[in-house]
Amino acid sequence: MFKRFFSNIGGLILINLVVLILITIWAAYYSFGPMLLMGRSKASSWDDFIWTEIIIGGGFLVLFNGYVLYRTVTGKNREYNRKLTEEKNKRNKRK
């Protein structure tokens, strides 16, 4: 039980890290690109970068982890997995 719990938590942390890295790369490109190409100020670029990280990264963390918590607390994952297993067993019996 603990092994499965920690494996699920590890997967959740991995997903969070990967998406936050992608958001950081995207935000850096669109915040610092104009600074390099069009001479925009460094302070303005940093300000845009930080706000983008807070709004998009924070929003992702709150919404995604809230969705995972909702699915875990309500037991929707167990119902979904049970339905998949039943359908798979039905298909295997037909063969």
Q: Which residues contact 44 (CB under 8 A, 6 or more apart)?
A: 35
Structural domain range at position 19: 2-94
Q: What is the pTM of this model?
A: 0.70
Q: What is the mean pLDDT of the chain?
A: 82
Mean pLDDT of 20-44: 87
Total count of domains within the chain: 1
Q: What is the C-alpha to C-alpha distance for residues 24 and 41, in angstroms, rounded to an integer?
A: 19
Q: Which is more confident, 61 or 70?
A: 61
Residue 1 has pLDDT above 60, yes or no: no
Q: Considering only CA atoms, which of 47, 48, 57, 54 is closest in space to residue 30?
A: 48
- The model's confidence at residue 21, banded by pLDDT at 50, 70 and 90, is very high
Instruction: Please report the pLDDT score of residue 59 as a whole number.
Output: 94
Query: CA 22, CA 14: separation in Å to the nearest integer?
Result: 12
